[in-house]
Amino acid sequence: MSERRQGILAGVLSNIIWGVLPIYWHALRPIDSRVIIFYRIFLCAVSSYVVARTKYSREELFAPMKDRKLLLKFLLAGVLITVNWSLYIWAVNANHVIETSIGYYIEPVVVCCFGVLFFGDRLSKYKGIALAFAAAGIAVIVLYYQRIPLISLALALSFSLYGAAKKGLSQPPVLSLFYETIFLSPIALGVILYLEGTGQGAFAAASDAPWKLLLLVFAGILTATPLMLFAESANKAGLFATGLCGYISPTISLVLSIFLFREPFEPVQAAAFAVIWIGLGFFTYGELKE
């Protein structure tokens, strides 16, 4: 298999995992979202360390520690992806899966805006049209519900900022993920110990269903795997193919939210999605022409 095909396969797999993850987060109820979030941070660090040690020596693993600027970039990226994942997990368990889908649909357009504003990318005609349609889709929601879709916008912005923070970082995916989580893991472990010690943690919540504690153990690997696959896809398949694969995840989540989780899906939401999808069509066509 060619390197490009490997990258495309990694992109497809990462987005399929992301798309079906709401089933996993729902299955962890009644464990509180904040408890899941801190377990995810700590277990993701452990998972990435274990995988990294199978590929790299201890010296190779800790070599980036000598570069303070590099560590600060990793810390920033780690904070941003933690914000993104934490909001996502909370939103899923608060029955806002549809809003998360909107956020990840408009995320490629937000990335485009960041490229134009901060990295000197050219705003082509098709990207401009896509931006206009994405803004129109958000406007439909704002005008109808008289509120800004904060969850959608926060998810799109935090993931786009995460991508911007990682720009220029050339570390292998597993090492990058290790450094994005390792600095936050002691804080997460401290919070976990406090919550468990005060009866607010997973053990108390899942006392009637101990099998959910076993499920919780997989929180780290289930979030580390798609992130590593995403990074591998970007490295091998290129940003356009990776971005195109990115439409898979919110589509799966949208279908799950309507048919499995039975979230209300009103005509105005369908209209907003239709407008955003038209914009993504222009965006994709423009990227294909370049």
CA 72 to chain centre: 21
pLDDT digits (tens, 9 = 90+) for 97-136: 999 999 999 888 888 788 778 877 777 888 889 889 999 9
Which tokens belong to 21?
A: 């993850």
- Check if the beta carbon of residue 178 is closer than 8 Å to that of residue 49: yes
Largest CA distance in the chain: 58
Q: What amino acid occupies position 21?
A: L
What's the average model confidence in pLDDT over 194-203?
A: 96
DSSP3 helix / strand / coil % (the chain, rounded to 5): 80, 0, 20
Which tokens belong to 75?
A: 């810390």
Q: What percent of the chain has pLDDT over 90?
A: 59
Instruction: Sketch the domain layout of the chain as residue ranges.
Output: 3-289
User: Band of the pLDDT at 203, cuts 50, 70, 90?
Assistant: very high
pLDDT mean across residues, the chain: 90
pLDDT at res. 256: 96
- Specify the residue for token string 């649909």: 105
pTM, two decimal places = 0.91
User: Band of the pLDDT at 231, cuts 50, 70, 90?
Assistant: confident
Higher-pLDDT residue of 231, 190: 190
Cβ atoms within 10 Å of 236's Cβ, excluding its own:
19
pLDDT at res. 100: 94
Which tokens belong to 192?
A: 């976990």
- Check if the beta carbon of residue 180 is closer than 8 Å to that of residue 78: yes
